[in-house]
Structure 1
Amino acid sequence: MSDDNSQSSQGSAGKSWLGRITQMLQGEPQNKEELVEVIADAQERALIDPETKDMMEGVLSVSELKVRDIMIPRSQMITLDVDESLENQLPIMVESSHSRFPVICEDKDHVEGILLAKDLLPLILDKSDALPALREYLRPAIVVPESKRVDTLLNEFRQKRYHMAIVIDEYGGVSGLVTIEDILETIVGEIEDEHDDEDEHNDIRQLSKHVFTVQALTPLEEFNEFFSTEYDTQEADTIGGIILHAFGHMPSRGEIIDIEPLQFKVTNSDNRRIIQLQVTVPKTETTEDHVE
């Protein structure tokens, strides 16, 4: 009898362990959508905070993006002329507050190299009246195609220790540039420093020919004027209000909704408000007014 009870107990234990293993296997996310749900559930149960959840979802979103989705478009590139005197271009550098500048010859399709502002610091100690030629301070420009995966580029940035790359299209023309900060902002949200203007929070910024990043608090009238849309200003004061009404719930980061004629993706939000949106204009729409 005792032997039978022992065997029965061992059998029950075996079934119990098998059941638990099966449950663990069944509970594992089988695709990215299920993994996002697991992350959201972890945040709801206070296992992780909202900022950690957003960051984890940002990491997942990076694997789906191409460089063209996050690059600074050609029209917004601040460049220096390799044949222009350094003295004449210092005001551009000071005003932009950038640390790196593409240096061009003739036009933006001919990038000669990258200038690091810190390389000019020794000039402060130089008593000479004449500043040297800009070409003497150029570093090689890294070139990447628009179609390159963002996560692959991030690994290259880290391994090769460079922070900026020139982006080219399929015909070899320069279509923009991308920095390591652009990738990090995709993961953790907007990174601001002491040089950022507080008045820029409501700006609409172009990321590529058909993709824009928009602050949710952008006044609806300003949004309608920029995109030639006719969203009802009686329904909401801001574009974020329109998006919230369309969702019918507080959307999480990464949620997408179509409100004709545009597509909206929530790129930054918390439990109380939508912070930032990615707006995609249909490729059939004309966006020449916003593109060089």
Structure 2
Amino acid sequence: MDDLSLTVLFSILAFLLFLSAFFSGSETALMTLNRYRLQHLVKKGHRGAIKAYRLLKRPDRLIGLILLGNNFVNILASSLATIIAIRIGGEQAIAAAAGILTLVVLIFSEVTPKTLAAIKPEVLAFPAAWIYTPLLKLLYPIVWLVNLIANMLLRIFGVRVKKDTVETLNKDELKSIVAEADNIMPSRYRNMLLGILDMESASVEDIMTPRNEIVGINIEDPLEDIIEQLQHSDHTRLPVYKQSIDRVIGFLHLRKILSVICRDDFDKECIIKNMQKPFFIPENTPLHKQIQCFKTEKLRIGLVVDEYGDVQGLITLDDLLQEIIGELIIEEPNVKMQSDGSFLVDGSITVRELNRIMNIDLPTEGPKTLNGLIIEYMETIPDAGTSIKLHGYPLEILKREKNTIKLVKFHPKK
């Protein structure tokens, strides 16, 4: 070293600092790579991604290699800075050189490259993978020995390093990831994924058409009334019952019956012949199981019954698909925002739908509709003009008809 000029020593020191920056930045870049995008690029045949993926399959070896190189160049740079300090100012300059080198390493070899790597990991990770792949083969014996000692130390503390470890996500964690992915995923895809994940925690009772809103055909009505109802029906499938909806005898598809309804011999027997058998669904059936059941049974409609066999509601395949992709038919919205920031809400809206639209957190374990939730909370049927704070959300009852709350105004939270 005594034969080398200060210019050469400073050049070597600058090169070592550059290597330190490379090791620091590439470590952060490789460890912060989006694993899902990485796998996508691997499938597309991206060569840099393939090498990075192989390196990350054994992160202990990769980290051992990077730290081996980083520590080596940092220690060498420190030694070189000491020699330069002695050359320039003697032994009393060593402390100043150590301070300056620490500041330079911190700024140029740590913070700057790691910040760049965190913002644009692929820019550093893929080129670095080309360098680390042959370097790992060259230094494998040293890296293996370092990892062996490190893994033995970890075992003392009860930590075992496994190959190809894969972290699993539960449903709530996956929902959080999808919900926070608004910057990298279109909202329509995000909402669909959230709808699919929500299907596991919801039952058919949460989305069914309630009993009092079911439109069906009473087979004991006069034939003329039945024909008129069939000709003006807004639904393609109708339950057929005797006197009460609890006595359903089948489902009628309008496409089949309308082709014979104009015949002179058309009678109630024709309706019965063209019916499908009724399909009954327990009210606590999860949505994801019901959609699979509809697929297996090749059905599109069913009646929801309670433990006593009484009909509680009706559910269709369209209702299930709507939970995933949103409204199939644009109807009058159940929630309307007002100019003052408040919301006018239909009392028949389900709590789950209200939570999704208004991004609030009303409880879904009890009553399924806003009307039911308010009545349970107050333990009475409130009159119009009543103001309450429902689980922390201020609202006012605007309209009541008989025993049902029809319209509610949600005030903005203060």
TM-score between the two structures when normalised by the length of structure 2: 0.46
Q: Cα distance 1:89–1:12, how it changes in 2: closer, same or farther (>3 A)?
A: farther
Pairing 1:114–2:251 present:
yes
Give CA-to-partner distance per residue, 1:125-149, whole Å, 9 cap, x none: x6x3342222222210001111112
Pairing 1:201–2:332 present:
yes
Give the distance between the partners of 2:257 and 2:282, measured in 1 at CA: 30
2:266 maps to which residue?
131
What SS class does the counterpart of residue 55 from structure 1 fall into? helix
Q: 1:99 aligns with which of 230, 236, 241?
A: 236
Q: Which runs of 4+ in 1 moved over 4 A?
A: 3-6, 9-15, 18-22, 251-255, 284-288
Hey, which of these two has a bigger chunk of helix by percent? 2
Structure 2 counterpart of 1:7, which letter?
P
Q: Cα distance 1:235–1:19, how it changes in 2: closer, same or farther (>3 A)?
A: farther
RMSD: 3.6
Structure 2 counterpart of 1:201, which letter?
E
Pairing 1:290–2:290 present:
no
Q: CA deviation at 1:74?
A: 0.7
| Kept after mapping to 2: 8 A contact 1:100/1:114 | yes
Q: Cα distance 1:148–1:19, how it changes in 2: closer, same or farther (>3 A)?
A: closer
2:335 maps to which residue?
216
Q: Which range is displaced more, 84-93 or 102-111?
A: 84-93
Q: Cα distance 1:104–1:290, how it changes in 2: closer, same or farther (>3 A)?
A: farther
Q: CA deviation at 1:54?
A: 0.6
Q: CA deviation at 1:93?
A: 3.1
Q: Cα distance 1:55–1:86, how it changes in 2: closer, same or farther (>3 A)?
A: farther
Q: Cα distance 1:66–1:139, how it changes in 2: closer, same or farther (>3 A)?
A: same
Pairing 1:257–2:371 present:
no
Q: 2:373 aligns with which of 262, 281, 291?
A: 281
Larger radius of gyration: 2
Q: Please, which runs of 5 or more residues in structure 1 have no aligned partner?
A: 193-197, 203-214, 220-233, 241-250, 265-277
What SS class does the counterpart of residue 336 from structure 2 fall into? coil
Give the distance between the partners of 1:168 and 1:135, measured in 2 at CA: 22
Structure 2 counterpart of 1:191, which letter?
L
| Kept after mapping to 1: 8 A contact 2:218/2:242 | yes
Q: CA deviation at 1:7?
A: 0.8
Q: Which has the higher contact order (CA 8 A, sep 6+)?
A: 1
Q: CA deviation at 1:96?
A: 3.3
Hey, which of these two has a bigger chunk of strand by percent? 1
Q: CA deviation at 1:186?
A: 1.2
| Kept after mapping to 2: 8 A contact 1:143/1:165 | yes
Q: CA deviation at 1:253?
A: 6.9
Q: 2:279 aligns with which of 115, 122, 142?
A: 142
Give the distance between the partners of 1:36 and 1:161, measured in 2 at CA: 30
Q: Within 5 A, what are the aligned runs for 1:1-292?
A: 5-10=139-144, 21=164, 25-26=166-167, 28-29=168-169, 31-44=170-183, 46=184, 48-123=185-260, 128-133=263-268, 134-192=271-329, 200-202=331-333, 215-217=334-336, 235-239=340-344, 255-258=359-362, 279=370, 281-282=373-374, 283-284=376-377, 285-286=379-380, 289-290=403-404
Give CA-to-partner distance per residue, 1:231-268, whole Å, 9 cap, x none: xxx9524348xxxxxxxxxx97795424xxxx59xxxx
Give the distance between the partners of 2:145 and 2:178, measured in 1 at CA: 36
Q: Please, which runs of 5 or more residues in structure 2 have no aligned partner?
A: 1-136, 151-160, 346-354, 382-401, 406-414
What SS class does the counterpart of residue 191 from structure 1 fall into? coil
What is the percent sequence identity of the aligned residues? 23
Q: Cα distance 1:218–1:174, how it changes in 2: closer, same or farther (>3 A)?
A: farther
Q: CA deviation at 1:116?
A: 0.7
